[in-house]
Chains A and B, each alone.
Chain A
Amino acid sequence: MLALLLRQVRRILVTALLGGLLGATLVRLGPGFGVDERELDNRLSEESRQAIRAEHAQDSNIALFYAHYLAGLAHGDLGFSRSLNRPVAELLKERLPLTLGSLAYGILGGASLGLALALLTVIWRAPGIDLAPTLVAGACLALPAAVIALLLLWMGAAGRWAIALVVFPHVYRYAKNLLMATYQSPHVLAAEAKGLSRVRVLFAHVCAPAVPQLAALAGISVSLAFGASIPIEVISDTPGIGQLAWKAALDRDLPLLVNITVLVALMTLVANGLADLALARWRPAQQTVAA
């Protein structure tokens, strides 16, 4: 068990660091790398311009940069952000709690709303009962995250609920389809024929087998939520990781971008790893229930 866990941790770490390298390469090869807005300042002398270019030239060899980065990482030094003029570790320490909080609210809120509505739809099973939630879900999908965030701000609500509204349609649609498909399984028909109550059929024979696949959705929700957090944090001016990522991208701040890529990769891998673990542990139970 411990060995398995250690292997998983190792896999996650190696993949995340590989992600960092690939991310750094993408940034390096992208246009606008190494240029600085300061070069447009009329006041600068030629020496100052050369000094600015030299600063950026340090990062141009991606292999060297990444080697230095890994060496620094071993000592807890995450590098220095040129665009914000502060150590990356400090920036992440300040902003991570805010974003994690928003993500937690967003994912739990969106998942709860989606699951609750999916369950209600499945419980009542009347024709057209799912029309309203479906249309609301459609509305949430159709509106840009930025517009949802603005609407919420205007109403005085926190931007984090915009993340919930972005996650909810995916959860609702998927959970509804899953639960309805499970309802049509032979074992559910058998259970109903045996005279089990609707509630017991729903929870023990419909929801229980669906849990592994719902767990898979939990992993996706992390990347969805983080993706949504970028425009939402930018719009609502929340000083979280999403806003930092956007700023880093616009300024081509390589140290910052690499760290954020590694962080996002870690979060995604851990969330999906846990979801997979849940999937693996539930399967024996599922087979027992089906039998």
Chain B
Amino acid sequence: MPSTVDGIAFAVLAVALVGGALGMLTTKNIMHAGFWLLEVSVAAAGVYFLLDANYLALVQLLVYAGAVSVLIIFSVMITLRRREDAVRPRDLSWQAGLLALAFAGMMIAAIAAYAWPVAGMPAGAPDLVAFGTRLFAPHGWALPFEIASVVLTAALVGAVWWSRKEDE
């Protein structure tokens, strides 16, 4: 990929990510905030494509843009009794802004001060076959993968248990 295209794509995705997050924070309507989160998820998938993480980009689109956003939008709709309830105050406190600004300043200063050992993106990323082979290698990531599926099952059962009717 030529480096000029890289720069333009990165700039577009960065604007989409930061702008989407800002839109999510500043909109007064919770439904709109949910749709901004959807936009942030899609832009993040674009960043993964830029970093040659194709599998992660697809998972991001399926899990975050697909499932999580729909889940959030549905729970917003369930917890609203009237249409007007979606509009609520912005709730932006200056103390939180100060905290976030201090954190961002600290991180950016640390990133800029450190001498990173790489100049540009290394050429040639492994393809999907190599990724899958490493993921399911017996002494690689196979055991954490199985544990992760147990975690997901437990979370699923817990979510069903919590959201059941009280009087059953």
Q: Do A and B bind each other?
A: no
A interface residues (Cβ-Cβ under 8 A, vs B): none
